[in-house]
């Protein structure tokens, strides 16, 4: 990447991370510290935890479309202002209803798709995969950081201080955004942007729908777990809230190390389906273990290790599977539906989990998330083995564009080319390539290629 690209990617990754940290810092402490809010009940506390997910699920695709029309930066700044406003509403509220309103507003600043579109505008095709990997790592790290620092900071500034800090980070993000150059030309990249005209193709694809159900279930289970876990640790095991973060970082770190070999086995030995279904089964089993040992501290620690081992594996595998399964030119649309499913799962996990905790305590919440997990395991068992294909964008030569039908037939005749879509107006071909069967140089140096610039 060029220096300008590195700076732009660093800023965009930071914006993703600051927003995620702001949303998740309250997750490990809210059910304990939020009890003092006026009108607080377990059901309303759970609603506050998950509220951001509903508005984000509804608005993140429209925000991306608005950025196509009005520009990336104006939409991103608007989203950050809404996010900051929601954080301030939650910070100054003494009642649970004010905090719920603030959380809904936080989610309404749904800038993720606009940020991804900006990333595509300011990076070249050949640098975009690395740029997206940096953003992905920043999102993963931000969740870990949020679970660690949330309880520590809350010890000093309380719940309102966490929300105020989130507002400050949102305003800082607007300052950082100035370091990203304003793209002279906005382009609609099908691998990173939503194509509304092809939504029906995504929603009719059974394997993509299974993955959408998977990320919905995963984040429902995660949010539901955090409806009851902080109180379990604080009230049953007398663990001070300020120390919860260290427990989470320990089990998440160990779980991450433990899952790495299975990621390698899945990719190298082409056992992704088996590893994926095994991880779903482990996720369900870990929650069943937690239900049985919740009164024993080290049993809880062991169950959380198993949970986060499976969670980390699934969180890493699901977007990769979407990219592999999505037809050529549909990855952006598929990821848009996938992300909305994730946020809606977080909303229901908080809302339903809170209601169940209020009526049935730990048993109700754990029974609910275990039931969702069992249903997910059943759905996943019908999963087809995913294609081991890499997404690639190829610039086409003038001769190839002069005869698009002939070019399409010649490309489709190549062994190892799983799928191809040509967009004449962009001068691009979107490809799905099995690199074990087809050398990429055959594509990038063939007569159809304008030059050797491509994105994998």
Angle formed by the axes of helices 331-380 and 272-293, nearest 10°: 60
Looking at residue 436, the DSSP 8-state letter turns out to be T
Q: What pLDDT does 117 receive?
A: 83
* Contacts with 242 (C-beta within 8 Å, 6 or more apart), sequence order: 151, 152, 154, 155
Calpha distance 6→13 (Å, rounded):
10
**Cα-based angle 210, 214, 220 (whole degrees, multiple of 5):** 145
Q: Rounded CA gap, 427 and 106, in Å?
A: 39
pLDDT for 453: 46
- Between the two ends of the chain, the Cα-to-Cα distance in Å is 14
Q: Quote the CA–CA distance of 126 and 115 in Å, as a whole number.
A: 19
Torsion 106-109-112-116 (CA) sign: negative
Strand partners, 394: 429, 454
List the chain pLDDT tens, one digit each, 456 residues: 778 888 988 999 999 999 999 999 999 999 999 999 999 999 999 999 999 999 999 999 898 888 888 888 999 999 999 999 999 999 999 999 999 999 999 999 989 888 888 888 887 766 777 887 888 888 888 998 999 999 999 999 999 999 999 999 999 999 999 888 887 655 656 666 677 777 788 888 999 999 999 999 999 999 999 999 999 999 999 999 999 999 999 999 999 999 999 988 988 888 899 999 999 999 999 999 999 999 999 999 999 999 999 999 999 899 889 888 888 777 788 888 999 999 999 999 999 999 999 999 999 999 999 999 999 999 999 988 888 777 778 888 888 888 888 888 888 888 888 788 887 777 888 888 887 788 777 787 777 887 644 433
For residue 125, what pLDDT is reported?
66
Phi, psi of 365 (to 5 degrees): -65, -45
In whole angstroms, what is the distance from residue 22 CA to residue 163 CA? Answer: 7
pLDDT of residue 430: 82
Alpha carbons 86 and 103: distance in angstroms, whole number: 6
Tokens of 339: 């992300």
Cα torsion angle, 60, 61, 63, 68, sign: positive
What Cα–Cα distance (Å) separates residue 419 from each residue in 379, 402, 414, 415, 433? 26, 21, 10, 11, 7
DSSP 236: I
DSSP 270-322: T-HHHHHHHHHHHHHHHHHHHHHHTTSHHHHHHHHHHHHHHHHHHHHHHHHHH
Helix or strand (DSSP H, E) at 442: helix 440-444
CB 386 within 8 A of CB 82: no
Question: What would the DSSP string read from start to end of 156-213?
Answer: HHHHHHHHHHHHHHHHHHHHHHTTSPPPSS----TTTS--GGGHHHHHT-HHHHHHHH
446-450: long-range contacts, CB 8 A cutoff, minimum separation 24: 447/397, 447/399, 447/400, 448/394, 448/396, 448/397, 448/399, 448/400, 448/407, 448/410, 448/411, 449/394, 449/395, 449/396, 449/397, 449/400, 450/395, 450/396, 450/397, 450/398, 450/400
Give the residue among 61, 193, 192 at the shortest CA–CA distance from 128. Answer: 192
Q: Which whole-number Å values give the CA distances from 263 to 23, 130, 452, in the listed order?
A: 28, 19, 31
Cα–Cα dist 303/308, whole Å? 9
Q: Look up tokens 């598929």; give the residue.
A: 334
pLDDT at 98: 97
CA atoms within 13 Å, Cβ hemisphere of 243: 6
Are 419 and 392 in contact, with CB atoms under 8 Å apart?
no
Q: Are 181 and 19 in contact (CB under 8 A)?
A: no
CA 232 remoteness from chain centre:
27
The pair of structure tokens assigned to 361 is: 């305590």
């Amino acid at each position: 990447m060029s220096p300008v690209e590195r700076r732009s990617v660093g800023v965009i990754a930071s914006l993703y991370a600051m927003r995620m940290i702001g949303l998740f810092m309250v997750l490990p402490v809210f059910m304990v510290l939020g009890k003092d809010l006026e009108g607080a009940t377990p059901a309303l506390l759970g609603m506050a935890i998950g509220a951001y997910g509903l508005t984000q699920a509804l608005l993140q695709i429209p925000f991306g479309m608005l950025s196509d029309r009005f520009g990336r930066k104006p939409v991103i700044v608007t989203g950050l202002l809404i996010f900051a406003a929601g954080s301030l509403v939650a910070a100054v509220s003494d009642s649970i209803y004010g905090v719920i309103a603030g959380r809904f507003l936080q989610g309404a600043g749904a800038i993720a798709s606009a940020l991804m579109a900006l990333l595509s505008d300011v990076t070249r095709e050949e640098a975009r995969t690395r740029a997206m990997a940096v953003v992905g790592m920043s999102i993963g790290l931000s969740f870990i950081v949020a679970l660690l620092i949330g309880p520590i900071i809350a010890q000093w500034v309380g719940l309102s201080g966490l929300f105020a800090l989130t507002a400050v980070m949102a305003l800082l993000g607007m300052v950082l955004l100035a370091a990203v150059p304003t793209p002279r030309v906005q382009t609609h990249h099908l691998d990173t942007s939503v194509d509304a005209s092809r939504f029906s193709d995504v929603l009719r694809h059974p394997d993509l729908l299974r993955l959408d159900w998977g990320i919905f279930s995963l984040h429902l289970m995660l949010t539901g777990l955090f409806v009851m876990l902080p109180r379990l640790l604080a009230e049953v095991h007398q663990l001070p809230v300020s120390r919860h973060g260290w427990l989470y970082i320990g089990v998440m770190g160990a779980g991450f190390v433990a899952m790495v070999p299975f990621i390698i086995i899945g990719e190298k030995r082409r056992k992704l389906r088996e590893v994926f279904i095994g991880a779903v089964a482990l996720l369900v089993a870990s929650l069943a273990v937690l239900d049985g040992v919740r009164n024993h501290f080290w049993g809880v620690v062991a169950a959380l290790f198993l949970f986060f081992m499976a969670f980390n594996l699934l969180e890493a595998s699901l977007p990769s599977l979407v990219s592999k399964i999505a037809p050529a030119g549909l990855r952006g649309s598929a990821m848009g539906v996938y992300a909305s499913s994730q946020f809606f799962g977080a909303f229901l996990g908080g809302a339903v989990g809170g209601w169940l905790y209020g009526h049935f305590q730990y048993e109700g919440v754990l029974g609910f998330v275990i039931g969702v997990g069992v249903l997910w395991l059943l759905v996943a068992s019908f999963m087809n083995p995913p294609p081991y294909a890499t997404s690639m964008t190829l610039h086409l030569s003038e001769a190839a564009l002069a005869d698009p039908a002939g070019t399409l037939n010649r490309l489709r005749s190549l062994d190892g080319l799983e799928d191809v879509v040509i967009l004449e107006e962009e001068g691009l071909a979107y490809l799905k390539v099995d690199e074990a069967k087809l050398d990429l140089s055959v594509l990038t140096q063939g007569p159809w290629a304008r030059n050797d610039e491509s994105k994998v």
